[in-house]
A and B are shown apart, each in its own frame.
Chain A
Amino acid sequence: MLRIDGLTAAYDGPPALAGISLHVEKGEVLGLLGANNSGKSTLINCISGLVRPLAGRIFFEGADITRLKPHERVATGIVQVPEGRQVFPKMSVIENLLLGGTSRAARPQRTTRLDQVFKLFPRLAERRPQPAGTLSGGEQQMLAIGRALMSGPRLLMLDEPSLGLSPLFVQIIFKALAELNAQGLTILLIEQNLTLTLAYAGRGVVLERGQIAIEGTREMLKNDPRTRAAYLGL
């Protein structure tokens, strides 16, 4: 579904990504692991179009999207739930959700998708008129995911969705993600929590200093002692 060829990116200084090649299969949950600054966020920001790669290509369903602008990538079906949730704090829950479906293609289906989001996260329905900035962290994460779903993504990328959440909310969020995946949504998951990732992802890629250190199925990663080592940055 998504194929990345020799992606290299840098801000100032050493490359954040040094020639990464990987692929995401339709319908899978791919876990992206690695210590801080290993290049995980840079990678999905390249896929979203927020960071311009120095070299390499990105293909989505066969089409080269390397040069597309961020909003055009959303239209092709790639949506990111950014790290730290990034909801619009002064807008209500409902307005945040409507903004998620603001692209021309998504607008006619907004009401049906809104119902689906409220069904997935009933808590959001209760909080409809409330400013997003006053929600708890867990509720904000629900909102960020719901907002992303409003544009009808085919590939959902999540950057550390469990960050700063209570165990109860982590459970709710991951149950919802599993449900979405069961409905056919492809998921690319960046997660600090190794156990959590290996519980939900069928396959994983471990990044180390901008390069792929280990790649394999859940079982392979679980049994490979290098996983934990790379993850801890040893």
Chain B
Amino acid sequence: MCLTYNVSGIVNFAHGDFLTLAMFIAFAFQAAAALDPYVSVAITLPLLALLGALTYQHLLRPVARSHALVIIQLTLGLSFVLQNGLLMIFGGQPVRTPSALEASILIVGDIFIRTPQLIAFCTSLALTLVLFLVLGYTETGRRIRAVHQNPQAAALMGIDVPRVRTLTFAAGIGILAISGALLLPGTTIWPAQGLRFTVITLMALILGGMTDFAGVYIGALVIGVAEVVGTGYVAGTTGMILPYAIFILVLLLRPNGLFGRAA
């Protein structure tokens, strides 16, 4: 999301709903063809990437120069369409997607780790590394950074700016297919959960100062840890407030994000 925001200037309020969509597609594959979520990601990844590209090309690009509120309104609308579409097809009951590795646990000394969580951890780390390498050391990455830093100058260098933005959007949405597969084992999903993911992502983005990839990564870490500590060690509903409380506190003290400098 950080990537798509920075390159296309669009805050996508349907971000979490695309994630939910990816999870439900994986669920459908499991229910219909007994495909493990870790396997069906090979199908959902290109599917979501294509969906991201189409969404950008036909919905977002035409309004990209309009007022920010128009874009927010549009992505919020998209969020409702996705949510209710899922509700129509899958119904409102929370569902679980079994996976072969769901119940497996790794024991190292005194530490018990659920295998899916270990996979999720390693994969996200690897993805971050890949993203970092692609952005830093490939021609495509250089073009993406150029569009991010100065779209007009990028166009004058012979870069097809709309194409770079479409590709970035496709990648940003496509990655959600992987996130979906990583989150799916052992969790229940329901159509209306998307907004929660969007809010968490947005908080990480804002904490990180919007534009700095490393900052956003640390922002995500702060929110994540706050959530785990909050729900694990603080009783009941109070615990769930913790990440939001930390978010508000940080913004009060550092309005430009954790590492932001005053504009």
Chain A residues packing against B (C-beta within 8 Å): 48-50, 69-71, 74-75, 79-80, 82, 86-91, 95, 98-100, 102-103, 106, 147-148, 151
Question: When A50-B155, A102-B158, A103-B158 are in contact, do A90 and B150 touch as well, CB less than 8 Å?
Answer: no
Known: A71-B159, A74-B157, A82-B153. 17 other contacts (CB 8 A): A69-B160, A70-B156, A71-B160, A80-B156, A86-B150, A86-B152, A88-B150, A89-B149, A90-B149, A91-B145, A91-B146, A99-B142, A102-B139, A102-B143, A103-B157, A103-B158, A147-B157
Inter-subunit contact A99/B146 (CB<8 Å) = yes
Inter-subunit contact A71/B155 (CB<8 Å) = yes
- In the assembled complex, which residues on chain B have CB atoms less than 8 Å from the CB atom of A99? 142-143, 146, 154, 157, 159
Residue from the list A49, A50, A89, A151 in contact with B157, Cβ < 8 A: A151
Q: Which of chain B's residues 133-183 have a Cβ closer than 8 Å to chain A?
A: 139, 142-143, 145-146, 149-150, 152-161
Q: Which residue of A is nearest B155, CB measured?
A: A70
A to B CB contacts below 8 Å, 23 in the list? A70-B156, A71-B158, A71-B159, A71-B160, A74-B157, A75-B158, A79-B158, A82-B152, A82-B153, A82-B156, A86-B150, A86-B156, A88-B149, A90-B149, A91-B142, A91-B145, A99-B146, A99-B154, A100-B157, A102-B142, A102-B143, A106-B158, A148-B156
Question: Nearest chain B CB to A131's CB is how many angstroms away?
Answer: 11
Cα-based distance from A58 to B146 in the complex (angstroms): 28
Question: Nearest chain B CB to A108's CB is how many angstroms away?
Answer: 13
Cα-based distance from A100 to B146 in the complex (angstroms): 10
Inter-subunit contact A50/B152 (CB<8 Å) = yes
- In the assembled complex, which residues on chain A have CB atoms less than 8 Å from the CB atom of B158? 71, 74-75, 79, 102-103, 106, 151
Cα-based distance from A148 to B143 in the complex (angstroms): 15
- Identify the 5 closest CB pairs spanning chains A and B, nearest first: A74-B158, A103-B158, A86-B153, A70-B155, A71-B160
Among the interface residues B143, B158, B161, which one has the most CB atoms of the partner chain A within 10 A? B158
- In the assembled complex, which residues on chain B have CB atoms less than 8 Å from the CB atom of A74? 156-158
Inter-subunit contact B146/A79 (CB<8 Å) = no
Inter-subunit contact B143/A71 (CB<8 Å) = no
- In the assembled complex, which residues on chain B have CB atoms less than 8 Å from the CB atom of A89? 149
Question: Nearest chain B CB to A175's CB is how many angstroms away?
Answer: 24
Cα-based distance from A87 to B154 in the complex (angstroms): 9
- In the assembled complex, which residues on chain B have CB atoms less than 8 Å from the CB atom of A91? 142, 145-146, 149
Among the interface residues A91, A98, A102, A151, which one has the most CB atoms of the partner chain B within 10 A? A102
- In the assembled complex, which residues on chain B have CB atoms less than 8 Å from the CB atom of A87? 153
Q: Which residue of B is nearest A103, CB measured?
A: B158
Inter-subunit contact B159/A102 (CB<8 Å) = yes
Q: Which residue of B is nearest A157, CB measured?
A: B156
- In the assembled complex, which residues on chain B have CB atoms less than 8 Å from the CB atom of A88? 145-146, 149-150, 153
